Chain A
């Protein structure tokens, strides 16, 4: 990771070229345009983190930028009246900090309620926010100057040294660099991994203990800070601002820059901002046809460049570099490759005791008029496996969903270690040491198997957000330690050949193992497996048996829903049979198998044995 790649060299070469621009380009006009590119890039990078990486769309970023611009304009002008402050130039810096803070505050105010909503609603809320802010800027004349805006905004200065265009160029370039590298650090860190995970599956992200709502709010605020930085830079470059600078169309401009440049790529927002800033220079009468140009660009992007310009560049290079079998380990020759779990893996932090890890008491749950669960009782001891079986639709998965915090029960209580526990959300369940897999596999798209497991460490000792953004020594150390631990888990489930393969490229049964590995990274005390053997061949089921056996020995309690009776009988200590949401039988596997009610409702008569 620390070895410079070709990509890094290209980056450094580009940086050097940018440093030379003011010396090469005659006149100040193009320098001025470049400053605008840097400013817009900063805002677009912030929006890229939000839209490209975490999948939340905002059409109100121009308004957040306005918060930064107006705040610094007002504050720095007011402070400029004091001669001491004005002489040092510190008034502008105070204004800028205030501006960024104001953007962050408004980002938070907007994010907390808006992010409870999903999909297009967030976009709607941010559009509304943009209009409201624009209208306020127009109407609140005593403060904002109304239509005419604020003029004579002080220049950035250090004492007597005023940063005119050329020097301001370097200042804005510096800001763009900082923004770019912050983005890179975020994206390559645990925090960025979380954003991608949330984008792919919020439910699965929550199941490993990620507080999805909190992370989304954090991302929005970070994104607002980028917009605020863009806003303050803009104010001190332009020297006068008015509401027209921050219309709805400016928000569209930024979203278009991200999409056109390449959402979810590092360089994409920079490319987008550059092209869209210089585009009007190439077209006469741009203002008249601006909407047409934006519209056409959106269409071109959606039809021909689904991953933007950057997607084309990166895609082509990846395509060339990809050796046969380079990305996904090629299908191996010879006999079927059943995963062979290592036996030596011991999960840390599992206290042994002879009290049940979990007991559910009189649990009930209805959906509409349908009674899915009624007065269900059972408990699971540490180091044991408890199977939940029953006909399809009996309520087995509903039970798993209740224990993992996805549903709340209507009746009854859940005790963890003998104490009543309110499992209010999926990430809260992970906090209790409850991890799960899903019947319909929920993976984080094309993230690697290793990334999936690393995400499971969220609850204990993953890299913190600030260590990630600043790419600190400590952050890198923690990450390395986690990678070592994650590889041990991957070996344990038998997927080491696929550690760096994108998870969604694996075969069905292997994807199930990825889910188990991810759940193990939570270091669960209680592991919930929803049909782990579905889609596995006989040999793979044998491997799964060994894996569950090893987990039991290390003290983990396993609750599994399963139809493969062979697996159920050989690994479970206790079996609970559900039918129409009620417990019809409970006991050790052998006695349950003989129970006439179970045979009638679930197993079928003796001559069906061949089918199990």
Chain B
């Protein structure tokens, strides 16, 4: 579904992503691990059209999207939930969700949107409680939930999440990551960047490790969970005990 070939992304003269290649098949959940500064966010930004790559190709369903601007990329069905939420603070939570469903509502999918919304709100009971409040008044974790909900309601074919766990309480984490697996069953493809490595690895089909702008380790979930390098650097010894 997504094929990335020799992607190079740079800020001025500084190459942050130094020629990475990977692919995501339809219906897969892929997790990218890596420490701060490894180039994960930059990769997602270039995939979503927010930062034009210096070199390489990004093929989405056979179409090279590497030179498209962000809104054209969204039209192709790729959606990014950026780190740091970015809601419309003066709109209510409900309005934020409706803005997420804007394209679908315009296409006349009113009933389907309502059904999806109910499903998503079941996932986030806390968001349901706050539907009429302005998004800017929500706590950080609640805003994170709304940001994910808003992306889900737009029904992208391909969803990219930059640190979905950021600021979320342990209990809600489980239901959110479980929901990713459920959504995959509904035909969604996911690319997740996650710092809580165990969480990211447990839900994925395959994972990549990005270090200093290069992909250094890759493999299916089971192999990754047992890889000594991954355990040492990302899972931490405690997680294994």
Contacts and interface: CB of A to CB of B under 8 A. Distances in A.
Contact of B168 (A331, A338, A563): A563
Given A332-B212, A537-B36, A608-B170, A397 B140 contact: yes
Given A327-B14, A610-B202, A538 B140 contact: no
Contacts of A394: 139
B72 interface: no
A313 to B, nearest CB: 18
B26 interface: no
A393 B36 contact: no
Interface in B158-211: 163, 166-174, 177, 195-199, 202, 211
A390 B141 CA distance: 11
A566 B173 CA distance: 15
Contact of B14 (A324, A395, A439): A324
B195 A604 contact: no
Given A440-B84, A610-B202, A538 B233 contact: yes
Contact of A506 (B37, B167, B196): B37
A602 B163 CA distance: 20
Contacts of B236: 538-539, 541-542, 566
B141 A538 contact: no
Interface residues of A, number: 59
A604 B174 contact: yes
Main secondary structure, interface of A, reads loop
Contact of A335 (B84, B196, B233, B238): B233
B84 A563 contact: no
B138 interface: yes
A334 to B, nearest CB: 8
B212 A333 contact: yes
A332 B16 CA distance: 11
B205 to A, nearest CB: 17
A531 B196 CA distance: 14
B111 interface: no
B41 interface: yes
A126 to B, nearest CB: 27
Contact of A392 (B39, B141, B234): B141
A398 B167 CA distance: 14
B167 A539 contact: no
Contacts of A541: 236
A447 interface: no
B14 A325 contact: yes
A462 B141 CA distance: 37
A146 interface: no
Contacts of A4: none
Contact of A323 (B13, B34, B233): B13
A512 to B, nearest CB: 9
A79 interface: no
Contacts of B12: 319, 322, 327
Contacts of A603: 170-171
A611 B126 contact: no
B35 interface: yes
B90 to A, nearest CB: 14
Interface in A577-612: 601-604, 608, 610-612
B167 A531 contact: yes
B39 A608 contact: no
B14 A563 contact: no
A508 B36 contact: yes
Interface in A380-410: 389-398
Contact of B39 (A325, A331, A395, A508): A331
Contacts of A535: 36, 83, 163, 166, 195
Contacts of B195: 509, 535-537
A563 B169 contact: yes
Bin the interface of chain B by size.
35 or more
Nearest to A534: B166
A217 to B, nearest CB: 28
Contacts of A537: 33-36, 195, 197, 233-234
B121 interface: no
Contacts of B167: 392, 439, 531, 534, 563
Nearest to B166: A534
A479 to B, nearest CB: 29
Contacts of A395: 139
A33 interface: no
A335 B234 CA distance: 11
A510 B234 CA distance: 16
Interface string A315-353: 000010011111110111111111000000000000000
A81 to B, nearest CB: 62
A90 interface: no
B58 interface: no
Contact of B177 (A397, A538, A611): A611
B95 interface: no
Contact of A331 (B16, B41, B140, B177): B16
Contacts of B144: 392
A265 to B, nearest CB: 19
Interface string A538-578: 11111000000000000000000001111000000000000
A376 to B, nearest CB: 15
A396 B202 CA distance: 29
A124 interface: no
Please indicate which of the listed interface residues A324, A328, A393, A394 has the most CB atoms of chain B within 10 Å of its own CB. A393
A507 interface: yes
Please indicate which of the listed interface residues B16, B144, B145, B212 has the most CB atoms of chain A within 10 Å of its own CB. B212
Contacts of A323: 13
B235 interface: yes
B171 A608 contact: yes
A303 interface: no
Nearest to B12: A322
B239 interface: yes
Contact of A508 (B83, B202, B211, B234): B83
A85 to B, nearest CB: 61
B235 A508 contact: no
Contacts of B211: 334-336
Given A325-B13, A507-B36, A601-B171, 4 more contacts: A337-B37, A531-B167, A539-B236, A610-B202
27 contacts: A322-B12, A323-B13, A328-B14, A330-B14, A331-B37, A334-B212, A367-B137, A370-B137, A392-B141, A392-B142, A393-B142, A397-B139, A505-B11, A506-B36, A507-B36, A507-B38, A508-B41, A508-B163, A509-B36, A535-B36, A535-B163, A537-B36, A538-B234, A538-B236, A563-B169, A563-B170, A612-B170
Interface of B: 11-16, 33-39, 41, 83-85, 126, 130, 133, 137-142, 144-145, 163, 166-174, 177, 195-199, 202, 211-213, 233-236, 238-239
The 7 residue pairs across chains A and B that have the minimum distance between CB atoms: A392-B141, A336-B35, A538-B236, A509-B36, A507-B36, A507-B37, A604-B171
